[in-house]
Amino acid sequence: MPRLTPILIALLLWLAPSSAQETAKPELFQEMDEILTELSKFTGWKAPKKVDSDTITKDGLKQFLEERMKEIVKPEELHAEELSLKKLGLVPKSFDLKKTTVDLLTEQAAAFYDYRKKKLFVLDTNATLTQKPVLVHELAHALADTQVNLEKYIFKGKSDDSSLARQAVMEGQATWLMSEYIMSRMGGSLTKSPEMVDVMSRMAGSSSGAFPVFDSVPLYLRESLLFPYTKGFAFQQAVVQKLGKEGFLEVFRNPPLSSQQIIHPDKYFDKVQPTKPPLPKASTKGYSGVVEGTVGEFDHEILFQQYGGEAEAKLARKWRGAEFRILEDKKDKSKSVLLYASDWQDEQAARDVFLLYKKVLQGKCKSFELKKESEAELEGFGDGAPFVVRLEGTRVTSVEF
């Protein structure tokens, strides 16, 4: 699906508690040369002579976010992203994407590397214990930026599932290097203790009630924020185990194409490409296209979990590809239509998804009326607007006004 979320998240490149009120110590920055030297040993990349750095206040961070959002996101793009999330049923119809994104990232951020100014910022409210890991993570980004222009890299991907995969490469690699640095301080290594990846991933994915905004946002946004760090971390571990130091640059030169390749690294190594099932046809006279893209395995996992449960979410593992397009009424912007098509591992998987999609429709509509139901077709009205869902072999399609 269209995905500004990873691009916005890319502004802030580490999730760490930022609730303590201790002023960041300037001497923290004196350790940067030593950290970069260590990171250089892990990657084989030459460390930059200097990385500009400074502290930033919480208010300054919020202002930075608001200004950067204006720079990189056009109003029509923000509208398209919000409409897509709502039409697919991933957020409520009253959801305000812009405000929530700024509030969420302001709460979550402990530091960030500004890839435009080539400058690293640490929030001046960080607790001492969190400062050094945060600094290591951001310096990992700065080091990668000397090899690959991170701004071009993240924006080169389409604003869909592929951009989430690219974000997972960036964040997963920085998280891996931060974790390897910590392990090396204790005389260990992730390459020798791969079980630590699971432990550290769970730690990164834990909120522990410390972040009220994070805990209150829809499941999709929470998981979108965590995915690049947790799944990207595990992906990078698989890359290092298979390719060694060569893998650090390889994932930038030949980035994964989908969230599926991040979740299942073997599909990245085997170069398994997503299929592109044709969208269903519908009478859309008077409508114009707003956005189109890919609905990835990650998107389906969250969608199925939200309207089904943990067991249903596992169906997403049988994803082969999915496309969507959203059109709006030219005269009445409150009216739109979703064209959706997904392709699955086999006919049984597609049938299971077809049956589950009925729950999805019921869940995202306040009123639900079924007019026709057969083994291969659902037809009815959701909130007074017509829908048709069809099962055709390994494909499930839907037209939703």
Longest dimension (CA), the chain: 69
Rounded to an integer, what distance in angstroms lies between the CA atom of residue 384 and that of residue 278? 27
Tokens read off for 238: 């698989």
Q: Which residue bears the tokens 């969208």?
A: 279
Q: How confident is the model at residue 17 (pLDDT cuts 50, 70, 90)?
A: very low
State pLDDT tens for residues 266-313. Answer: 999 999 999 999 999 999 999 999 999 999 999 999 999 999 999 999
Q: Is 194 helix (H, G, I), strand (E, B) or coil?
A: coil
Average pLDDT score, the chain: 88
Contacts of 256 (CB under 8 A, 6+ apart): 162, 165, 166, 168, 169, 235, 262, 268
| Whether the Cβ atoms of residue 35 and residue 136 lie closer than 8 Å to each other | yes
Which whole number is the average pLDDT over 238-256? 97
| Separation in Å, CA 380 to CA 95, 384, 400 | 25, 9, 10
pLDDT band, residue 42 (cuts 50/70/90)? very high
Confidence of residue 12 (pLDDT cuts 50, 70, 90): very low
Q: Residue range 159-178: average pLDDT? A: 92
10 has a pLDDT exceeding 80: no
* 124 vs 76, more confident: 76
Q: Quick one: what percent of the chain has pLDDT higher than 70?
A: 89
Name which residue leads in pLDDT, 197 or 381.
381
Q: Taking Cα atoms as reference points, which of 108, 120, 137 lies closest to residue 236?
A: 137
pLDDT of residue 137: 94
Q: How many CB atoms lie within 10 A of CB 158?
A: 14
Q: Where are the beta strands (DSSP E) in 69-169?
A: 111-114, 119-123
pLDDT at 206: 57
Q: DSSP string spanning 339-392?
A: EEEEEESSHHHHHHHHHHHHHHHHHH-SSEEEEEE-SSEEEEEETTEEEEEEEE
Place 14 in a pLDDT band, splitting at 50, 70 and 90: very low
pLDDT tens sequence across 347-381:
999 999 999 999 999 999 999 999 999 999 999 99
Domain ranges of the chain: 4-269, 287-400
Residue whose pair of structure tokens reads 């500009």 in the numeric block: 52
* Contact criterion met (CB below 8 Å) for 114 and 36: no
Higher-confidence position of 142 and 127: 142
- pLDDT greater than 90 at residue 158: no
Q: Which H or E element spans position 55? A: strand 52-56
Please determine, for residue 83, whether its predicted confidence score (pLDDT) is greater than 90.
yes
**pLDDT tens track for 289-299:** 999 999 999 99
Domain covering 287-400, topology: Protein Transport Mog1p; Chain A (3.40.1000)
Average pLDDT, integer, range 394-400? 98
Residue 19 pLDDT > 50? no
